[in-house]
Amino acid sequence: MHEWVTVDSLSDGIRHAIHHAANTVLPKSTFNKHTKPYWTSEVKNAHSKSRQMRATWIANGRPRCRANIYFRNYKEAKSQFRKIQRIESEKYMDNVYNDLDEAAELDYRLFWKLLRNRKTVKKIPCKEIAVKEIIHSTPEALPRVLLNITKTYSTIVKIMIRKRFSLTLSLRLIDCRIPRS
């Protein structure tokens, strides 16, 4: 005999099959903690509150006047989240700069290792460095010259690094000559 199947059980079976196929075949995205190392529990809580206030605002028809309590709560929560995120990001970058500063004073190899790890620009092959019209081209002289330059211009470098971290800072302080191929 035939067993009767309801439309609801049939649609549930199809939905389950589609979800199962999607979960096994499609890639899933996960949070990468290395992309936002400043993301603390305080930032997470502010982000959750901001998202919750936005959902409440959307549920109430997205009113856009400042007198509306949902709109005002959403904008205040969003502003607070951005403020906390900016503060935590600055704290993290200050720690990174302090580590670089300590490494520059104690161990220049560690300093350059940390510097290379923070760098996001393309590598520029530098074969020669001209300092005060003296060209240094040996592999042994390059680190020594760069260390002397960072000592000489340490206050300038600290100010410039704190404003924007980039390898172009060192290229502004020295003349890096790249031979043409």
Contact 73, 56 (CB under 8 A): yes
Q: Which class for 74: exposed (0-12), middle (13-18), buried (19 or more C-beta within 10 A)? A: buried
Lowest mean pLDDT among 50-54, 80-84, 159-163: 159-163
**pLDDT at position 45:** 96
61: alpha, beta or left? (left if phi > 0; alpha if psi -120 to 50): left
pLDDT at 179 over 50: no
Contacts of 78 by beta carbon, 8 Å cutoff, 6+ apart? 50, 53, 54
pLDDT tens for each residue of 98-149: 877 777 777 777 777 777 776 555 555 556 666 667 776 776 776 676 666 6
pLDDT at 164 over 70: no
**pLDDT at position 131:** 67
What span, in angstroms and rounded, lies between the C-alpha atoms of 52 and 61?
A: 15
Contact 37, 85 (CB under 8 A): no
Give pTM, 2 decimals. 0.47
**pLDDT at position 76:** 96
Contact 114, 65 (CB under 8 A): no
**pLDDT at position 106:** 78
What span, in angstroms and rounded, lies between the C-alpha atoms of 173 and 157?
A: 9
Torsion sign over Cα 110, 115, 117, 118: positive
Contact 175, 129 (CB under 8 A): yes
